[in-house]
Structures are given as structure tokens and as C-alpha cells.
Amino acid sequence: MKVALIGAGSGQFAQTVITDILAIEGLDAGTFALVDLDPERLELTHEVAEQLIELVGKPWMVQATTDRRSVLPGCDYVINMIEVGGLANVEYDYTIPLKYIWGGSMYRRHERAGWALQVFAHCTLLAGHLPRH
């Protein structure tokens, strides 16, 4: 099994996808082909992937490159995780929850995790309808 992760420099998302794939019963070996334009972020994700594989103990391999064309041949799955427009494109995904949940008085009054997650999801959906700078 060969899985390409395009935009793997997004470390948190890549880590989650890799963890989920490694948890699939019966999927005991394969290769993760990590691709990103930013070599520093790519290297960090590569290191995290190696640690996850070691932790799980499955014989997976990791390739990391800035050249997507070199790893796409032979892939069984290609996961596109790029962020078009950069961090400015997801600004509201972070600032709204920080303002109204974690930093605001609503969170202090309602410290139940389930409630906070529901509001976070709602704020994230609303952020898609706000004007961009």
C-alpha cells in the first residue's frame, strides 16, 4: 500500500491522517509518501511520521519530497491536504473560537468539553461565511 499526502507540511492534519491509517486493522505495511513545498515543515512531518510508525510497530516506510511527480507513480491513494491561500485563508477558524470560547466569558461559564466542541464546530462553519480580507 502506498499513500501520498500532498501538503504534508500541515503537520497536525498529516499526523492525524497517518495515525488513523496506522490504526486500520489488517493494514500492516506500506509507504507514506509525504509531499510539501516547504522543506522545513516537510522534514518535521517526516520525523513525526517515523516516530508514529515506531510507536505502532508496523513496518511502514516514509518518503518525503518537494517533488510530487516523483512519488505519485504507484500510489494506491493520494490525499490532497493543501491549504490554498495560506494561513490567511483559515484565520477565522482560529480567531473566532479563541475569542468566544477559550478566551471569552462563555467558556468560563460553560466548561463542559462537549459544549465547547459544539460551539467550536459551529464557529468554524460560520467562519466560512465571513468576509475575507
Q: Note the pLDDT tens digit of each residue in 31-85.
A: 999 999 999 999 999 999 999 999 999 999 999 999 999 999 999 999 998 877 7
| Segments forming the whole domain that contains residue 8 | 2-82
User: What global pTM score does this model have?
Assistant: 0.67
User: Interior CA angle at 125 toward 103 and 108, to 5°?
Assistant: 20
Provide the number of structural domains found in the chain.
Answer: 2
At residue 72, the pLDDT reads: 94
Q: Which helix (H) or strand (E) holds 84?
A: none
Q: Note the pLDDT tens digit of each residue in 57-72.
A: 999 999 999 999 999 9
CA distance 79 to 17: 9
**DSSP E strands, the chain:** 2-6, 30-35, 60-65, 77-80
Residues 16 and 50 in one domain: yes
Residues 71 and 96 in one domain: no
Which one-letter amino acid corresponds to residue 108? R
Residue 109 included in any domain: yes
Residues 99 and 71 in one domain: no
Residues 65 and 101 in one domain: no
N-to-C CA span, the chain: 42
